[in-house]
Amino acid sequence: MKLPELLLPAGDIKKAYYAFEYWADAIYCGVPMFALRTRANVFTEKDIAEIIDFANKNGKKVYITLNWFPHQNMIPALRKHLEFLKNAKPHWIILADAWVLGLANEICSDIDKHLSVQASTVSESWIRFWAKNWVKRIILAREIAIKEVKKIHEMFPEIELEYFVHWAVCMAYSWRCLLSNFMAQRDANRWMCAHSCRWNYQVFDEEWRKFDLSEREKTQKEDWNLEGQESFLPWFIVDSIDWKPISIREFEKTHIWEEEQRMWEFIPVEQDIHWTHIMSSRDMCMIEYLKEIIDSWVCSLKVEWRNKTFYYAISVARAYRKALDDIAEWKEFDKNLWKEIHATANRWFFAWFVNWKPKSEWQQYEANRSTADFEFAWVVVNKIWKWYIVWDWDFFWFPKWHKFEENFLIVEPKNRIEKNSELILVWKKIPDDKKFFVEKIIFWWNEADVLHWWNWNWLIWVSDEIFETAKEWSILRQVVKNEWLKK
């Protein structure tokens, strides 16, 4: 069975190398000015040239994103960047704007073009238009169901189809959101989104009275001063005027919205001690639906989240690669892969529009918080052999040889780690992961009981097996200890 490519994001060159190391067939990246990832992207043109060269030598691909909508004052910079790409020769260019596509066809005529998901392509007429303008692959709108994808392929078998399978879902239609611009002056359509839809919102009544959900002794009747008015009040207030909190769950309450032009169409708004989150969606994960997606002739599975750590990217990549390998061997979906997916911070998952419209329970009404089963612990920076040259900090300018009788890894901490903690060495294939305990921590050549993320280059003792398996930039994880990520 021919499998689709696994396409991973890269917000910087280190993430790009990690993506290729951990099973990505291709990556997509771009410079901040043009790539809709202004806050999470530190790629330079020099980095792009370097990673394209690496991909060409290793049978991988690099796609460059130009999927923003330029204002007139950006056109000279765009022309200059396209001239650079003409010489750098990435494998594809991803665009969303018809004028940018025309300019790219003029300057980079020998580089194939993708159509970005930003174009919200869902129908035959749009696909026909883009195909006439030399678009070879279309990244379909996220709101399209997999049955529609199959029909589109049957109508346009010559067009490659790409499909998003994993990302944080925006509540707006194909990112066309003004909340962030309106509330924080940060342009969501240039990927500076402030995630206003995930903020905590307080509900007020028509007289600007705040629904106070803090613990109190007075009954709601006394608090609202409603004594003797029960016969004149709506049912949803009458039923609650004698309410008195006695447990944390009883702080939860449902309030009602009514839109001005839709009288008597009541919209319940749930609010609890975490405020209300009516616009906050769960995260999207389609790992259980890969077989159906492949059967719809999708040629590329796209993972988003350039602003996440490389730990997130490799955890997701390992799970999807294992799922794809199982499909190639005609195996059923391995539900243990959900453990790897939940090793990353998430708002719980759902399958988005894969089978038509999402259900109401797929919203995250409870609170805007992420959970995880594991957390990023360390990056292995280097190994210490029996003899190792270090700096003597009493006489900084003199290097000095230190002799070690045991195996040590030099690590860069990412979270608090304590002595005797159980760690997992994350390897390319999930079954190859190695567990071990931290028996000795060295800092400034003295033993320590704990290390913190702000310290640099600690030493940890490891067994011969772990020492031989680990290599530079290996990832270590631990069972989650951060209280904010615990379920």
In a domain, 38, yes or no: yes
Render pLDDT for 246-294 as a digit per residue (tens, 0 to 9): 444 444 555 665 555 656 655 566 555 555 555 666 788 999 999 999 9
Render pLDDT for 137-170 as a digit per residue (tens, 0 to 9): 999 988 888 889 999 999 999 999 999 999 877 7
For the chain, the first-to-last Cα distance in angstroms comes to 39
pLDDT of 269 reads 61
DSSP-assigned states of every residue in 307-365: TS-HHHHHHHHHHHHHHHHHHHTTPPP-TTHHHHHTTS-BS-EE-TTTTSSPPGGGB--
* Backbone Cα Rg of the chain: 27
CATH number of domain containing 72: 3.20.20.70
Q: Are residues 69 and 96 in the same domain?
A: yes
The parent domain of residue 229 ranges over 201-271
Q: Are residues 310 and 438 in the same domain?
A: no
Report the percentage of the chain scoring pLDDT > 90: 38
Amino acid at 332: E
CATH number of domain containing 403: 2.40.30.10
In a domain, 128, yes or no: yes
Q: Are residues 426 and 326 in the same domain?
A: no
DSSP-assigned states of every residue in 238-283: HTTTT----SGGGG-EEEEEE-TTSTT-EEEEEEBTTBB-TT-BPE
In a domain, 439, yes or no: yes
Q: Are residues 157 and 304 in the same domain?
A: yes
Q: Are residues 151 and 213 in the same domain?
A: no
Contact 51, 29 (CB under 8 A): yes
Q: Are residues 266 and 301 in the same domain?
A: no
Task: State the number of CA atoms in the 13 A half-sphere of 249 facing the CB.
Answer: 0
In a domain, 340, yes or no: yes
Render pLDDT for 61-101 as a digit per residue (tens, 0 to 9): 999 999 888 888 989 999 999 999 999 999 999 999 999 99
Contact 427, 465 (CB under 8 A): no
Dist CA 158 CA 151 (whole Å): 13
In a domain, 403, yes or no: yes
Q: Are residues 127 and 244 in the same domain?
A: no
Q: Tens of pLDDT along the chain (487 residues)?
A: 789 999 999 989 999 999 999 999 999 999 988 876 655 668 899 999 999 999 999 999 999 999 888 888 989 999 999 999 999 999 999 999 999 999 999 999 999 999 998 888 988 999 999 999 999 999 998 888 888 999 999 999 999 999 999 987 776 666 667 677 666 777 766 667 777 776 766 655 555 555 554 433 344 444 444 444 444 444 444 444 444 444 444 445 556 655 556 566 555 665 555 555 556 667 889 999 999 999 999 999 999 876 778 888 889 999 999 999 999 999 999 999 999 998 988 777 877 777 766 665 555 555 556 678 888 887 887 776 544 444 444 444 444 555 556 677 888 888 888 888 899 999 888 888 999 998 888 877 678 888 887 766 677 888 888 888 888 888 999 988 766 565 5
Dist CA 310 CA 17 (whole Å): 9
Judging by beta carbons within 10 Å of its beta carbon (0-12, 13-18, 19+), is residue 48 exposed, middle or buried? buried
Structure tokens at 382: 């280097």
Contact 343, 317 (CB under 8 A): no
How many domains are there within the chain? 3
Q: Are residues 127 and 64 in the same domain?
A: yes
pLDDT of 251 reads 45
**Measured CA angle at 163 (ends 308, 194), to 5 deg:** 35
Contact 89, 62 (CB under 8 A): no
